[in-house]
């Protein structure tokens, strides 16, 4: 179980503040602690990561993820996807429509004309069954019922969080279905490597590298146009490390559509499903680094362009562009683009994903 002694944790969060009952299910806070003494704090409400406590180049420990300090904040916060699990569908589906086995499906339109992040009550707003397996590992499980949010089939989902002694947060996903369906799971972690504060500093000076030669341009509602374009010669080229601020306000239609970076990258892969390097972020101020490795074909880069300065844990506030999201996933609107990597899950098959966020210092 999580620590019962109050505030002996690095993150300063109080377990009691995360305990309530929602629709007959108990919520709680779980602390993962590695042998170095660093921490990841997770709630089973939405699988929200509410703290990641890691050191800077001076050894000073701070929280590098945007999260909430209580279950009330988690349930009513201005950003419903703040560092939560996303499902059954990460990102967008055009007009919320897709066809499967000759049958048309209509999902909730909760992002202008489109479907976003699993609908009105997605995985981010569900209480998961939780089992802490030792000090460093937590398994979350839920059965997404047939027809939940308009999706077909029952989806049996397990997500496991492990915090290794190398300061790697490993997130592994496993899902099965009893009927042909679509699935695209991700975690919407909002990383602030300088450390959350009031206000949390901008990410514009942070250096980013992305292992992708191609990205997906979108229309003005953030739906991919269907083109797969080279990053070469565009603001989206992070093959050589550069600061976010260099091109985040570039005179470019795609940047204007996203109000900054809010686009899916086609990760360079030697073979489908291989666990490989996706991205690295370096914060020059603190010296902290974050590397992302994933088995997924794509990664949504989002620079918190729509944050408004809302409040989070321990008095922190989260202004515009104070975080970066590296959402490992299949491509947006894939059900309507047959040439995108398949998002179909059949009975007897397993959906599997492994994504690693590794924290370091330079």
Q: Where in the sequence numbering do the catalytic residues fall? A: 188, 327
Closest CA to 312 of 127, 78, 30: 78
> Among all chains, which residue has been given the structure tokens 């996933």?
329
Q: What phi-psi label fits residue 276: left (phi over 0), alpha (psi between -120 and 50 degrees) or beta? A: beta
**Nearest one of 135, 121, 143, 138 to 172, comparing CA atoms:** 138
Pairwise CA distance, residues 144 & 232, whole Å: 41
| DSSP letters spanning 95-164 | GGEEEETTEEEE----BTTBEETTSTT-GGGSBPEEEE-STTEEEEEEEE-TTGGG--S-EEEEEEEEE-
Residue carrying the six token digits 């560092």? 83
> Residue 278 in contact with residue 299, Cβ under 8 Å?
yes
């Amino acid at each position: 179980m999580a620590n019962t002694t109050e505030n002996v944790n690095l993150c300063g969060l109080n377990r009691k503040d995360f305990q309530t009952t929602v629709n007959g299910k108990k919520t709680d806070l779980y602390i993962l602690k590695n042998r170095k003494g660093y921490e990841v704090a997770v709630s089973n409400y939405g699988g929200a990561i509410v703290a990641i406590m890691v050191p800077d180049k001076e050894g000073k420990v701070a929280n590098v993820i945007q999260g909430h300090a209580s279950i009330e904040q988690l349930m009513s916060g201005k950003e419903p996807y703040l560092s939560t699990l996303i499902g059954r569908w990460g990102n967008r589906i055009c007009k919320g429509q897709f066809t499967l086995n000759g049958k048309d499906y209509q999902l909730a339109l909760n992002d202008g004309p489109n479907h976003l992040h699993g609908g009105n009550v997605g995985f981010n707003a569900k209480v998961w069954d939780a089992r802490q397996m030792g000090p460093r590992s937590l398994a979350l499980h839920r059965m997404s019922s047939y027809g939940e949010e308009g999706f077909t089939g029952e989806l049996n989902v397990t997500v496991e969080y492990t915090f290794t002694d190398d300061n790697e947060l490993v997130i592994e996903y496993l899902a099965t279905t009893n009927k042909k369906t679509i699935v695209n799971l991700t975690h919407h972690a909002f990383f602030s490597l300088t450390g959350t504060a009031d206000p949390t500093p901008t990410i514009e000076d942070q250096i980013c590298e992305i292992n992708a030669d191609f990205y997906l341009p979108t229309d003005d509602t953030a739906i991919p146009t269907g083109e797969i374009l080279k990053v070469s010669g565009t603001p989206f080229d992070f093959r050589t490390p550069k600061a976010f601020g260099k091109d985040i306000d570039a005179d470019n239609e795609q940047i204007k559509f996203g109000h900054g970076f809010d686009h899916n990258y086609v990760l360079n892969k030697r073979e489908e499903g291989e666990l490989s390097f996706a991205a690295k972020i370096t914060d020059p101020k603190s010296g902290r680094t974050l590397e992302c490795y994933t088995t997924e074909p794509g990664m949504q880069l989002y620079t918190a362009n729509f944050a408004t300065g809302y409040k989070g844990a321990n008095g922190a506030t989260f202004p515009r562009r104070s975080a970066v999201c590296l959402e490992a996933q299949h491509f947006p609107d894939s059900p309507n683009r047959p040439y995108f990597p398949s998002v179909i899950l059949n009975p007897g098959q397993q959906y599997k994903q492994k994504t690693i966020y590794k924290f370091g210092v330079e």
